[in-house]
């Protein structure tokens, strides 16, 4: 689906980001892997090459406009174009009620999870316009659509990602740049592995999903890959939950 496309992904060192990078490689993309964790990010690039794909790694802070600008510039220098991007990097942040939420934690979550997506879109769109269009997928969350007690910064940022996605999609649809958002529920990642030590809490988390299980990173990657491809050529400005029925309740 992505043969010879140049595809950039942030937060690709592990979890959903790594799964997307590997799926894109299997579909024929040339992959630019980015993460703040240099060692783990390089390992993802190596895994792509082990699959026979073409990849290189660039370290970047997703909350830095300068890093995003340089990330896109390096992609253009290396591959000559940018066709696909996934703004996947994000953090969970502190857990506290709104009145007790630490100010520094609020600013950090908004910087990475919302401003970082804006910075990505800003420079990615400009690059895609040079070659007649492209596809951007912003990683939101089920919490981009509903609230969640104890996570005001994360919820606010992910709601913001949906608004940004819709606005950018309207602005650039006629110029060939599609912008969509994906909303995973709770996905089996290294972060969730720690929760398994508390069987009651893990069971409660699983029970919140009508499918009776948590999602897999590869399941999110398959949807992101479809949105990235020309098979989704009439799809823009949309939000796609990958949630095992979580939002249907």
Residues carrying an active site annotation: 154
CA distance 14 to 41: 8
Return the closest-CA partner of residue 229 out of 163, 171, 180, 165. 180
All residues at 6 or more sequence positions from 209 whose CB lies less than 8 Å from its CB, including other chains: 185, 186, 215, 243, 244, 245, 246
Helix (H, G, I), strand (E, B) or coil at 56: strand
C-alpha radius of gyration, the chain, whole number: 17
Which secondary-structure segment (H or E) carries 135?
strand 134-139
CA distance 248 to 14: 28
Q: Which residues pair with 241 in a beta bridge?
A: 183
Phi, psi of 21 (to 5 degrees): -60, -45
52 is written with which tokens? Answer: 């026979």
């Amino acid at each position: 689906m992505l043969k010879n496309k140049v595809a950039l992904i942030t937060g690709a060192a592990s979890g959903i980001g790594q799964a997307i990078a590997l799926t894109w490689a299997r579909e024929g993309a040339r992959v630019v892997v980015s993460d703040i964790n240099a060692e783990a990010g390089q390992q993802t690039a190596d895994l792509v090459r082990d699959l026979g794909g073409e990849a290189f790694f660039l370290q970047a802070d997703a909350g830095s406009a300068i890093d995003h600008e340089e990330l896109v510039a390096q992609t253009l220098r290396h591959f000559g174009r940018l066709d696909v991007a996934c703004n996947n990097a994000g953090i969970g942040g502190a857990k506290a009620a709104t009145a007790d939420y630490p100010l520094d934690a609020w600013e950090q979550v908004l910087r990475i999870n919302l401003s970082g997506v804006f910075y990505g879109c800003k420079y990615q769109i400009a690059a895609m316009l040079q070659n007649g269009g492209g596809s951007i997928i912003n990683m939101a969350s089920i919490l981009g659509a509903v609230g969640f007690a104890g996570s005001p910064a994360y919820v606010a940022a992910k709601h913001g990602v949906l608004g940004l996605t819709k606005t950018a999609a309207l602005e650039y649809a006629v110029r060939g740049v599609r912008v969509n958002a994906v909303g995973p529920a709770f996905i089996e990642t290294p972060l969730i592995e720690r929760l398994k030590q508390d069987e009651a809490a893990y069971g409660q988390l699983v029970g919140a999903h009508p499918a009776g299980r948590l999602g897999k990173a590869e399941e999110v990657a398959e949807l992101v890959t479809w949105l990235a491809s020309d098979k989704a050529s009439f799809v823009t400005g949309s939000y796609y939950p990958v949630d095992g029925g979580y939002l249907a309740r």
